[in-house]
């Protein structure tokens, strides 16, 4: 797998004092703006561009929850988070149906957590698609995996937009997409080391961290993956995460 930190195109710096949004750590590269309707050749360029940004930053510099570090391990395709510890709680949030979701209810499964927003034009759809592809290739093991997304846009990620996003990316029934107020989301972002701030030039877009976290069947935060992850990395690591 890639050992580099993820990100997107480079938009202008985020405004100060943006209500309800926590500033991204300076060493995290934000997801940027790209046109949604593009020919296949341009899509290839987008993916190549994401890979290029990934290649320009080090995973060791990417801020992880509570200052944890990602290290290489011969067993996992993802970077191994050390020290392994209980994953930060998400219990203050709810899904599109208004139901609370707690990570502890998924113990016994391999859980993958990421941070997205429904109007994101580039990195978020890439992550969503790769996670869907990974689960779709697992066959019978798919029911032992749970995908979780946490919103970085409390204003734009309405229940209707979340439902539409999950349907568009074939993640209905595969992913729990968690939302909440800015007050509810801010401590979650902080606990997971996630930056979220509006783009000054294009306020409809959010500059945010773009990682995928693997949680073991015992609820331990175990691995981390770049935004341009390969589905095979997830598929390889699922049995290891299930082993706890």
Q: Is residue 5 part of a domain?
A: no
Between 7 and 223, name the one with better pLDDT. Answer: 223
**pLDDT tier, 61 (very low <50, low <70, confident <90, very high otherwise):** very low
| Residue 2: per-residue pLDDT | 36
Q: Is residue 153 part of a domain?
A: yes
Angstrom distance (rounded) from CA 102 to CA 117:
20
Whether omega for the bond prior to residue 83 falls within 30 degrees of 0, making it cis, is yes
| Residue 203: per-residue pLDDT | 56
Domain count of the chain?
1
Instruction: Tell me the percentage of the chain whose pLDDT exceeds 70.
Output: 65
Q: Is residue 32 part of a domain?
A: no
| Residue 63: per-residue pLDDT | 56
| Residues 10-51 pLDDT 10s | 333 333 344 444 444 444 434 443 333 333 333 333 333 333
Angstrom distance (rounded) from CA 155 to CA 127:
21
Please choose, from the candidates 105, 121, 118, the residue with its C-alpha nearest in 3D space to the C-alpha of residue 179: 118
Angstrom distance (rounded) from CA 170 to CA 130:
11
Query: Residue 212: left (phi > 0), alpha (psi -120 to 50), or beta?
Result: beta
Q: Is residue 17 part of a domain?
A: no
| CA distances to 50, 61, 62 from 56, in Å | 10, 11, 12
- The model carries a pTM of 0.72
| CA distances to 90, 113, 152, 243 from 178, in Å | 8, 10, 10, 26
Expressed as residue numbers, the domain containing 51 is 40-242
- Asked whether the predicted pLDDT for residue 160 surpasses 60, the reply is yes
CATH assignment of the domain containing 142 = 3.40.30.10
Q: Is residue 124 part of a domain?
A: yes
Contacts 24+ apart (CB under 8 A), 40-47: 46/122, 46/126, 47/126, 47/228
**pLDDT tier, 54 (very low <50, low <70, confident <90, very high otherwise):** very low
| Residues 181-234 pLDDT 10s | 999 999 999 899 887 666 556 656 777 678 999 999 999 999 999 999 999 999
Contact assessment for residue 61 and residue 27, using Cβ atoms and an 8 Å cutoff: yes
Angstrom distance (rounded) from CA 113 to CA 150:
8
| Residues 161-179 pLDDT 10s | 999 999 999 999 999 999 9
**pLDDT tier, 68 (very low <50, low <70, confident <90, very high otherwise):** low
Q: Is residue 2 part of a domain?
A: no
Q: Is residue 13 part of a domain?
A: no
Averaged over 140-167, what is the pLDDT? 95
């Amino acid at each position: 797998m890639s050992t580099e930190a993820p990100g997107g195109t480079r938009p202008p710096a985020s405004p100060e004092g943006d209500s309800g949004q926590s500033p991204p750590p300076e060493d995290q590269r934000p997801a940027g703006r790209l046109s949604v309707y593009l020919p296949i050749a341009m899509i290839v360029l987008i993916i190549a561009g994401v890979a290029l940004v990934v290649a320009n930053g080090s995973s060791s510099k990417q801020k992880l929850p509570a200052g944890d570090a990602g290290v290489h391990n011969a067993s996992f395709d993802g970077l191994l988070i050390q020290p392994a510890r209980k994953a930060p709680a998400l219990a203050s949030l709810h899904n599109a149906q208004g139901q609370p979701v707690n990570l502890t209810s998924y113990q016994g499964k391999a859980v993958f957590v990421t941070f997205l927003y429904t109007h994101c034009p580039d990195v978020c759809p890439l992550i969503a698609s790769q996670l869907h592809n990974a689960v779709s290739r697992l066959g019978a093991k798919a029911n032992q995996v749970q995908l979780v997304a946490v919103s970085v846009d409390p204003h734009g990620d309405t229940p209707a937009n979340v439902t539409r996003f999950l349907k568009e990316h074939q993640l209905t029934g595969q992913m729990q997409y968690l939302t909440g107020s800015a007050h509810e989301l801010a401590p979650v972002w902080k606990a997971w080391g996630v930056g979220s701030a509006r783009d000054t030039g294009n306020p409809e877009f959010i500059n945010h961290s773009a990682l995928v976290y693997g949680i073991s069947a015992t609820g331990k935060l175990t691995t981390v993956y770049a935004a341009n992850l390969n589905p095979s990395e997830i598929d390889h690591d699922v049995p290891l995460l299930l082993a706890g």
